Amino acid sequence: MQNRKNKEKVFVTGGAGYLGSVLVPALLGSGFRVTVLDSFLFDQTSLLECCSSPGFEILRGDARDERLVKEGIKGADYIIPLACLTGAPICARRPQEAKGVIVDALDVILKYRAKEQRLIYPATNSGYGLGEKGRHCTEKTPIRPVSLYGRLKHEAEEKMLAAGNSLSFRLATAFGVSPRMRLDLLVNDFTCRAVNDRFIVLFEAHFKRNFIHVRDVARAFLHGMENFAKMKGEAFNLGLSDANLNKRELCEAIKKQVPDFYISEAAIGKDPDRRDYIVSNAKLERTGFKPAVSLDKGIAELVKGLRIVRRNQYSNL
Protein backbone atom coordinates (compact mmCIF):
# COMPACT_ATOMS: atom_id res chain seq x y z
CA MET A 1 0.00 0.00 0.00
CA GLN A 2 1.27 3.45 -0.81
CA ASN A 3 2.45 5.51 2.14
CA ARG A 4 -0.33 7.82 3.22
CA LYS A 5 2.10 10.37 4.72
CA ASN A 6 -0.09 10.78 7.79
CA LYS A 7 -2.91 12.34 5.78
CA GLU A 8 -5.72 9.84 6.14
CA LYS A 9 -7.14 9.09 9.58
CA VAL A 10 -8.52 5.79 10.86
CA PHE A 11 -10.74 5.57 13.94
CA VAL A 12 -10.56 2.12 15.57
CA THR A 13 -12.71 1.06 18.50
CA GLY A 14 -11.38 -1.86 20.49
CA GLY A 15 -7.96 -1.26 18.97
CA ALA A 16 -6.04 -2.70 21.92
CA GLY A 17 -7.55 -6.17 21.51
CA TYR A 18 -6.20 -9.32 19.87
CA LEU A 19 -6.73 -8.10 16.30
CA GLY A 20 -6.33 -4.38 16.96
CA SER A 21 -2.91 -4.87 18.54
CA VAL A 22 -1.71 -6.24 15.19
CA LEU A 23 -3.78 -3.97 12.92
CA VAL A 24 -3.02 -0.62 14.55
CA PRO A 25 0.79 -0.88 14.15
CA ALA A 26 0.23 -2.03 10.55
CA LEU A 27 -1.93 1.03 9.86
CA LEU A 28 0.65 3.35 11.37
CA GLY A 29 3.37 1.63 9.36
CA SER A 30 1.36 2.30 6.19
CA GLY A 31 1.27 6.02 6.96
CA PHE A 32 -2.22 6.40 8.40
CA ARG A 33 -3.01 8.47 11.43
CA VAL A 34 -4.83 6.26 13.95
CA THR A 35 -7.07 7.10 16.89
CA VAL A 36 -7.98 4.17 19.14
CA LEU A 37 -10.89 4.07 21.56
CA ASP A 38 -10.56 1.19 24.04
CA SER A 39 -11.67 0.43 27.59
CA PHE A 40 -8.60 -1.76 28.26
CA LEU A 41 -10.95 -4.26 29.84
CA PHE A 42 -8.20 -6.86 30.29
CA ASP A 43 -5.54 -4.39 31.51
CA GLN A 44 -3.54 -5.00 28.34
CA THR A 45 -0.52 -2.86 27.43
CA SER A 46 -0.39 -4.05 23.86
CA LEU A 47 -0.23 -0.64 22.16
CA LEU A 48 2.67 0.85 24.12
CA GLU A 49 4.98 0.49 21.12
CA CYS A 50 2.67 2.77 19.11
CA CYS A 51 3.03 5.70 21.50
CA SER A 52 6.21 6.89 19.81
CA SER A 53 4.28 7.53 16.59
CA PRO A 54 3.10 11.16 16.16
CA GLY A 55 0.11 9.86 14.20
CA PHE A 56 -1.20 7.75 17.10
CA GLU A 57 -3.83 8.89 19.60
CA ILE A 58 -5.57 7.03 22.43
CA LEU A 59 -9.00 7.62 23.92
CA ARG A 60 -9.61 5.51 27.01
CA GLY A 61 -13.25 4.62 27.58
CA ASP A 62 -16.28 2.67 26.45
CA ALA A 63 -17.14 2.29 22.76
CA ARG A 64 -20.74 3.27 23.64
CA ASP A 65 -19.68 6.63 25.10
CA GLU A 66 -21.17 9.12 22.64
CA ARG A 67 -18.83 11.91 23.66
CA LEU A 68 -15.72 9.82 23.03
CA VAL A 69 -17.06 8.40 19.77
CA LYS A 70 -17.83 11.90 18.49
CA GLU A 71 -14.30 12.98 19.39
CA GLY A 72 -12.62 9.96 17.80
CA ILE A 73 -14.72 9.91 14.64
CA LYS A 74 -14.10 13.55 13.81
CA GLY A 75 -12.10 13.83 10.60
CA ALA A 76 -11.78 10.07 10.16
CA ASP A 77 -11.57 8.72 6.63
CA TYR A 78 -12.06 5.12 7.80
CA ILE A 79 -13.89 3.67 10.79
CA ILE A 80 -13.10 0.15 12.00
CA PRO A 81 -15.35 -1.02 14.87
CA LEU A 82 -13.33 -3.80 16.53
CA ALA A 83 -14.83 -3.33 20.00
CA CYS A 84 -16.45 -6.63 20.87
CA LEU A 85 -16.91 -9.36 23.43
CA THR A 86 -15.47 -11.92 21.05
CA GLY A 87 -16.58 -15.52 21.08
CA ALA A 88 -19.59 -17.60 22.01
CA PRO A 89 -18.61 -18.37 25.65
CA ILE A 90 -18.14 -14.80 26.86
CA CYS A 91 -21.27 -13.58 25.04
CA ALA A 92 -23.33 -16.38 26.61
CA ARG A 93 -22.09 -15.40 30.05
CA ARG A 94 -22.56 -11.65 29.60
CA PRO A 95 -25.41 -11.28 27.07
CA GLN A 96 -26.44 -7.70 27.85
CA GLU A 97 -22.89 -6.43 27.75
CA ALA A 98 -22.31 -8.37 24.52
CA LYS A 99 -25.28 -6.68 22.86
CA GLY A 100 -24.12 -3.32 24.11
CA VAL A 101 -20.57 -3.61 22.84
CA ILE A 102 -21.41 -5.31 19.52
CA VAL A 103 -24.71 -3.75 18.44
CA ASP A 104 -25.36 -0.65 20.57
CA ALA A 105 -21.80 0.64 20.09
CA LEU A 106 -22.20 0.34 16.32
CA ASP A 107 -25.45 2.32 16.56
CA VAL A 108 -23.49 5.14 18.18
CA ILE A 109 -20.98 5.11 15.33
CA LEU A 110 -23.75 5.14 12.72
CA LYS A 111 -25.44 8.02 14.54
CA TYR A 112 -22.41 10.31 14.24
CA ARG A 113 -20.70 8.99 11.12
CA ALA A 114 -20.78 11.15 8.01
CA LYS A 115 -21.84 9.48 4.75
CA GLU A 116 -18.41 9.91 3.18
CA GLN A 117 -16.65 8.13 6.05
CA ARG A 118 -15.84 4.55 5.07
CA LEU A 119 -16.67 1.63 7.38
CA ILE A 120 -14.90 -1.73 7.47
CA TYR A 121 -16.46 -4.27 9.78
CA PRO A 122 -15.05 -7.48 11.30
CA ALA A 123 -18.02 -9.84 11.13
CA THR A 124 -17.69 -13.60 11.64
CA ASN A 125 -18.30 -16.69 9.57
CA SER A 126 -19.69 -18.36 12.70
CA GLY A 127 -23.06 -17.10 11.49
CA TYR A 128 -23.13 -20.05 9.09
CA GLY A 129 -23.75 -22.25 12.13
CA LEU A 130 -24.39 -25.74 10.86
CA GLY A 131 -23.39 -26.18 7.25
CA GLU A 132 -24.30 -28.89 4.78
CA LYS A 133 -21.87 -31.79 4.62
CA GLY A 134 -19.42 -31.37 1.74
CA ARG A 135 -20.80 -27.97 0.68
CA HIS A 136 -18.75 -24.81 1.17
CA CYS A 137 -20.49 -21.82 2.71
CA THR A 138 -20.31 -18.78 0.45
CA GLU A 139 -21.44 -15.24 1.08
CA LYS A 140 -24.83 -16.28 -0.37
CA THR A 141 -25.30 -19.15 2.09
CA PRO A 142 -28.18 -18.48 4.52
CA ILE A 143 -27.08 -17.21 7.93
CA ARG A 144 -28.05 -19.66 10.68
CA PRO A 145 -26.09 -18.76 13.80
CA VAL A 146 -26.09 -21.21 16.70
CA SER A 147 -24.80 -18.76 19.31
CA LEU A 148 -25.67 -15.33 20.65
CA TYR A 149 -22.28 -14.13 19.42
CA GLY A 150 -23.10 -15.22 15.87
CA ARG A 151 -26.54 -13.58 16.01
CA LEU A 152 -25.25 -10.27 17.35
CA LYS A 153 -22.40 -10.04 14.85
CA HIS A 154 -24.78 -10.78 11.98
CA GLU A 155 -27.21 -8.12 13.21
CA ALA A 156 -24.37 -5.61 13.37
CA GLU A 157 -23.11 -6.59 9.91
CA GLU A 158 -26.58 -6.07 8.40
CA LYS A 159 -26.88 -2.62 9.97
CA MET A 160 -23.43 -1.62 8.82
CA LEU A 161 -23.92 -2.73 5.21
CA ALA A 162 -27.37 -1.12 5.08
CA ALA A 163 -25.80 2.20 6.15
CA GLY A 164 -23.76 2.25 2.93
CA ASN A 165 -20.15 3.12 2.07
CA SER A 166 -19.01 0.02 3.95
CA LEU A 167 -17.71 -3.51 3.58
CA SER A 168 -17.55 -6.52 5.85
CA PHE A 169 -15.11 -9.35 6.40
CA ARG A 170 -16.59 -12.59 7.76
CA LEU A 171 -13.62 -13.77 9.75
CA ALA A 172 -12.71 -17.40 10.16
CA THR A 173 -11.45 -18.47 13.59
CA ALA A 174 -8.30 -16.44 14.10
CA PHE A 175 -5.03 -17.83 15.43
CA GLY A 176 -1.43 -16.82 16.00
CA VAL A 177 0.64 -14.60 18.23
CA SER A 178 -0.53 -11.06 19.02
CA PRO A 179 0.76 -8.46 21.51
CA ARG A 180 -2.66 -8.83 23.19
CA MET A 181 -2.48 -12.61 23.17
CA ARG A 182 -5.50 -14.92 23.46
CA LEU A 183 -5.22 -18.57 24.39
CA ASP A 184 -8.95 -19.34 24.28
CA LEU A 185 -9.08 -19.39 20.46
CA LEU A 186 -9.20 -22.92 19.08
CA VAL A 187 -5.77 -23.23 17.38
CA ASN A 188 -4.09 -21.26 20.16
CA ASP A 189 -5.88 -23.31 22.84
CA PHE A 190 -5.08 -26.70 21.30
CA THR A 191 -1.44 -25.73 20.74
CA CYS A 192 -1.23 -24.55 24.34
CA ARG A 193 -2.57 -27.91 25.51
CA ALA A 194 -0.08 -29.74 23.31
CA VAL A 195 2.88 -27.75 24.63
CA ASN A 196 1.89 -27.71 28.31
CA ASP A 197 -0.24 -30.81 28.90
CA ARG A 198 0.90 -33.07 26.05
CA PHE A 199 -2.61 -34.47 25.74
CA ILE A 200 -6.16 -33.49 24.79
CA VAL A 201 -9.60 -35.10 24.97
CA LEU A 202 -11.81 -34.05 22.07
CA PHE A 203 -15.59 -33.80 22.11
CA GLU A 204 -17.30 -34.18 18.73
CA ALA A 205 -13.96 -34.21 16.94
CA HIS A 206 -15.65 -34.22 13.54
CA PHE A 207 -16.89 -30.61 13.86
CA LYS A 208 -15.24 -28.48 11.18
CA ARG A 209 -14.45 -24.82 10.85
CA ASN A 210 -12.14 -22.48 8.94
CA PHE A 211 -9.06 -20.65 10.25
CA ILE A 212 -7.04 -17.50 9.50
CA HIS A 213 -3.90 -16.00 10.99
CA VAL A 214 -4.37 -12.73 12.87
CA ARG A 215 -1.71 -11.00 10.75
CA ASP A 216 -3.59 -11.99 7.61
CA VAL A 217 -6.74 -10.46 9.07
CA ALA A 218 -4.85 -7.19 9.46
CA ARG A 219 -3.51 -7.52 5.90
CA ALA A 220 -7.06 -8.06 4.63
CA PHE A 221 -8.22 -4.82 6.24
CA LEU A 222 -5.40 -2.94 4.53
CA HIS A 223 -6.36 -4.68 1.28
CA GLY A 224 -9.96 -3.58 1.77
CA MET A 225 -8.86 0.00 2.29
CA GLU A 226 -6.71 -0.06 -0.85
CA ASN A 227 -9.55 -1.58 -2.89
CA PHE A 228 -12.50 0.00 -1.12
CA ALA A 229 -14.18 1.43 -4.21
CA LYS A 230 -14.58 -1.97 -5.87
CA MET A 231 -15.31 -3.93 -2.68
CA LYS A 232 -17.76 -1.65 -0.87
CA GLY A 233 -21.30 -2.82 -0.23
CA GLU A 234 -20.23 -6.46 0.03
CA ALA A 235 -19.40 -9.12 2.61
CA PHE A 236 -16.31 -11.31 2.12
CA ASN A 237 -15.38 -14.57 3.79
CA LEU A 238 -11.84 -14.31 5.15
CA GLY A 239 -10.03 -17.56 5.85
CA LEU A 240 -7.39 -20.02 4.70
CA SER A 241 -8.84 -22.02 1.84
CA ASP A 242 -6.63 -25.01 2.73
CA ALA A 243 -7.62 -24.91 6.41
CA ASN A 244 -11.19 -26.19 6.55
CA LEU A 245 -10.38 -28.70 9.26
CA ASN A 246 -12.15 -30.69 11.93
CA LYS A 247 -10.77 -30.74 15.45
CA ARG A 248 -9.02 -34.07 15.00
CA GLU A 249 -7.30 -32.84 11.82
CA LEU A 250 -6.21 -29.67 13.61
CA CYS A 251 -4.69 -31.71 16.43
CA GLU A 252 -2.86 -33.90 13.93
CA ALA A 253 -1.37 -30.76 12.37
CA ILE A 254 -0.18 -29.63 15.81
CA LYS A 255 1.20 -33.09 16.55
CA LYS A 256 3.56 -32.76 13.59
CA GLN A 257 5.34 -30.04 15.57
CA VAL A 258 4.74 -31.43 19.08
CA PRO A 259 5.30 -35.16 18.45
CA ASP A 260 4.47 -36.38 21.96
CA PHE A 261 1.02 -34.74 21.86
CA TYR A 262 -1.52 -37.46 22.76
CA ILE A 263 -4.96 -37.09 21.15
CA SER A 264 -8.05 -38.96 22.33
CA GLU A 265 -11.76 -38.66 21.62
CA ALA A 266 -14.55 -38.85 24.17
CA ALA A 267 -17.39 -41.22 23.33
CA ILE A 268 -19.88 -39.04 25.20
CA GLY A 269 -20.21 -35.33 25.82
CA LYS A 270 -21.00 -32.33 23.65
CA ASP A 271 -19.02 -29.37 22.48
CA PRO A 272 -20.74 -26.18 23.73
CA ASP A 273 -19.77 -24.50 20.44
CA ARG A 274 -22.04 -26.26 17.92
CA ARG A 275 -20.56 -24.75 14.75
CA ASP A 276 -19.77 -27.22 11.98
CA TYR A 277 -19.13 -25.98 8.43
CA ILE A 278 -16.59 -25.47 5.67
CA VAL A 279 -16.10 -22.12 3.97
CA SER A 280 -15.21 -20.81 0.52
CA ASN A 281 -12.97 -17.74 0.49
CA ALA A 282 -12.92 -17.51 -3.32
CA LYS A 283 -14.80 -14.20 -3.49
CA LEU A 284 -12.12 -12.34 -1.53
CA GLU A 285 -9.33 -14.15 -3.36
CA ARG A 286 -10.74 -12.91 -6.66
CA THR A 287 -10.06 -9.33 -5.49
CA GLY A 288 -6.36 -10.20 -5.33
CA PHE A 289 -5.99 -11.05 -1.65
CA LYS A 290 -4.06 -14.16 -0.63
CA PRO A 291 -3.22 -15.11 2.97
CA ALA A 292 0.51 -15.14 3.72
CA VAL A 293 0.66 -17.27 6.89
CA SER A 294 -0.15 -20.97 6.69
CA LEU A 295 -1.59 -22.97 9.55
CA ASP A 296 1.74 -24.78 9.98
CA LYS A 297 3.67 -21.51 10.22
CA GLY A 298 1.18 -20.17 12.73
CA ILE A 299 1.47 -23.27 14.90
CA ALA A 300 5.28 -23.01 14.80
CA GLU A 301 5.16 -19.43 16.06
CA LEU A 302 2.68 -20.41 18.78
CA VAL A 303 4.98 -23.17 20.01
CA LYS A 304 7.72 -20.55 20.43
CA GLY A 305 5.35 -18.00 21.92
CA LEU A 306 4.14 -20.44 24.54
CA ARG A 307 7.65 -20.50 25.98
CA ILE A 308 7.02 -16.86 26.89
CA VAL A 309 3.37 -16.61 27.94
CA ARG A 310 1.54 -18.44 30.69
CA ARG A 311 -1.82 -20.11 30.21
CA ASN A 312 -3.70 -18.03 32.80
CA GLN A 313 -2.57 -14.71 31.34
CA TYR A 314 -4.55 -14.50 28.13
CA SER A 315 -8.21 -15.27 27.65
CA ASN A 316 -11.49 -13.50 26.96
CA LEU A 317 -13.18 -15.57 29.68
Domain ranges for the chain: 9-178+210-241+279-292
Alpha helices in 171-281 (DSSP H): 186-196, 214-226, 228-231, 247-255
pLDDT of residue 35: 98
Give the Cα separation of 16 and 33 in Å (integer).
16
Give the Cα separation of 139 and 20 in Å (integer).
24
pLDDT of residue 272: 67
Query: What pTM, to 2 d.p., does this model score?
Result: 0.94
The pLDDT tens digits along the chain (317 residues) read: 556 555 899 999 999 999 999 999 999 999 999 999 999 988 889 999 999 999 999 999 999 999 999 999 999 999 999 998 888 888 899 999 999 999 999 999 999 999 999 999 999 999 998 888 889 999 999 999 989 999 999 999 999 999 999 999 999 999 999 999 999 999 999 999 999 999 999 988 999 999 999 999 999 999 999 999 999 999 999 999 999 999 999 999 999 999 999 999 998 777 767 789 999 999 999 999 999 999 999 999 999 999 999 776 655 55
Nearest 5°: the CA angle 178, 16, 227 is 80
9-178+210-241+279-292 to CATH, choices 3.30.420.40, 3.40.30.10, 3.40.50.720, 3.40.50.880: 3.40.50.720
Instruction: Give me the long-range contacts of 87-90 (CB less than 8 A, separation at least 24).
Output: 87/149, 87/184, 87/185, 87/316, 88/126, 88/147, 88/148, 88/149, 88/150, 88/272, 88/273, 89/184, 89/272, 89/273, 89/316, 89/317, 90/149, 90/316, 90/317
